[in-house]
């Protein structure tokens, strides 16, 4: 493993487009870091193809009826439910093959739509707007985080919520051995500061109710699309 700068050219951050710098090379995989939004990301040339991504997703065991998986998802549904009006309308963006979170929100009395580029590819839900949008264990897969978050921002109505759950990157010294990095479909890694950057850029409020969960609140007066 090497750290710091090397002979490789710098590249643009895929989230904020600032000039990023070499971060670490681990085996055959090179990572960059952005000094502006603090994103860490895999060299774009090394991202997996769609077939490889889909095949890997199918190895995940995300049974909607599994109590352990539901407890895991409750880390985001619990704080979100505490902030929603009864009968709110939401979208589970990146729902996967078993949309467990959407089912949990329906059980709590909310209307849900789902979208996933591999397992629920109908794009009709992306033409609507919602009281809340959830994005759980999905943002780390974004090949175009700038474009994806632009879309997520648009999907949330003024006064609504964007709830994201992803494992925050913290200590650089532990990056090489970090289990989250070792998933071949994880290509971008966020810090709490990355979401603070987004919230500031958008003019939204931010709350991190617990580790690896962020709630972004769109102000009611924010009417830009």
The three-state DSSP-derived secondary structure of 37-56 is CCCEEECHHHCCCHHHHHHH
Q: What is the per-residue pLDDT for 223?
A: 78
Q: Is 172 a residue whose pLDDT tops 50?
A: yes
Q: How many domains does the chain have?
A: 1
> Is there a domain that residue 5 lies in?
no
> Is there a domain that residue 200 lies in?
yes
Contact, 90 vs 112, CB < 8 A? yes
> Is there a domain that residue 19 lies in?
no
> Is there a domain that residue 12 lies in?
no
Q: Is 213 a residue whose pLDDT tops 80?
A: yes
The mean per-residue pLDDT over the stretch 6-24 comes to 85
Task: Show the tokens assigned to 81.
Answer: 């439910």
The three-class DSSP label of residue 142 is coil
Q: Is 13 a residue whose pLDDT tops 90?
A: yes
Taking CB atoms within 8 Å and a gap of at least 24, the contacts of 141-149 are 141/53, 141/94, 141/185, 141/186, 141/187, 141/188, 142/14, 142/187, 142/188, 143/14, 143/44, 143/47, 143/187, 144/14, 145/14, 145/15, 145/39, 145/188, 146/14, 146/15, 146/16, 146/17, 149/15, 149/198
Q: What is the per-residue pLDDT for 118?
A: 93
Q: Which residue has the higher pLDDT, 36 or 62?
A: 36
> Is there a domain that residue 41 lies in?
no
The mean per-residue pLDDT over the stretch 141-160 comes to 98
Q: Which residue has the higher pLDDT, 59 or 32?
A: 32
Contact, 40 vs 33, CB < 8 A? yes
Q: Is 1 a residue whose pLDDT tops 60?
A: no
Task: Show the tokens assigned to 222.
Answer: 């924010």
Q: Which residue has the higher pLDDT, 46 or 4?
A: 46
> Is there a domain that residue 110 lies in?
yes
Which residues form the domain of 204? 50-217
User: What is the average pLDDT score of the chain?
Assistant: 93
pLDDT in tens, 44-93: 999 999 899 888 887 776 777 788 989 999 999 999 999 999 999 999 99
> Is there a domain that residue 56 lies in?
yes
Q: What is the per-residue pLDDT for 58?
A: 77
- The rounded distance, in Å, linking the Cα atoms of 138 and 214 is 13
- The rounded distance, in Å, linking the Cα atoms of 180 and 162 is 22
Q: What is the per-residue pLDDT for 55?
A: 86
Q: What is the per-residue pLDDT for 61?
A: 66
Share of the chain above pLDDT 90, in %: 84
> Is there a domain that residue 1 lies in?
no
Q: Which residues pair with 215 in a beta bridge?
A: 163, 207
Place of tokens 């000094």: 35
The three-class DSSP label of residue 211 is coil
Confidence of residue 3 (pLDDT cuts 50, 70, 90): very low
Confidence of residue 142 (pLDDT cuts 50, 70, 90): very high
Q: What is the per-residue pLDDT for 9?
A: 54
Q: CA geometry: angle at 54 spanning 53 and 55, to 5°?
A: 95
**What CATH code is carried by the domain that includes residue 198?**
3.40.50.150
The three-class DSSP label of residue 100 is helix
The mean per-residue pLDDT over the stretch 116-121 comes to 95
């Amino acid at each position: 493993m090497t750290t710091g700068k090397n002979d490789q050219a710098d590249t643009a951050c895929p989230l904020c487009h600032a000039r990023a710098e070499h971060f670490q090379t681990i085996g055959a995989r090179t990572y960059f870091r952005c000094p502006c939004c603090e994103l860490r990301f895999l060299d774009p040339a090394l991202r997996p193809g769609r077939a490889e991504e889909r095949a890997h997703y199918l190895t995940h065991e995300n049974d909607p009826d599994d109590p352990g998986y539901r407890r895991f998802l409750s880390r985001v549904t619990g704080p979100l439910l505490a902030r929603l009006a009864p009968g709110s309308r939401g979208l589970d963006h990146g729902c996967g093959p078993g949309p467990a979170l959407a089912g949990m929100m329906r059980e709590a009395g909310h209307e849900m739509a789902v979208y996933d580029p591999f397992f629920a590819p109908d794009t009709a839900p992306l033409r609507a707007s919602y009281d809340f949008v959830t994005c759980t264990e999905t943002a780390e897969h974004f090949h175009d985080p700038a474009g994806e978050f632009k879309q997520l921002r648009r999907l949330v109505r003024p006064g609504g919520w964007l709830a994201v759950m992803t494992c925050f990157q913290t200590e650089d010294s532990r990056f090489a051995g970090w289990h989250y990095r070792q998933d071949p479909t994880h290509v971008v890694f966020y810090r709490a500061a990355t979401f603070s950057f987004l919230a500031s850029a958008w003019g939204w409020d931010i709350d991190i109710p617990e580790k690896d969960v962020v709630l972004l609140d769109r102000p009611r007066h924010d009417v830009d699309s």
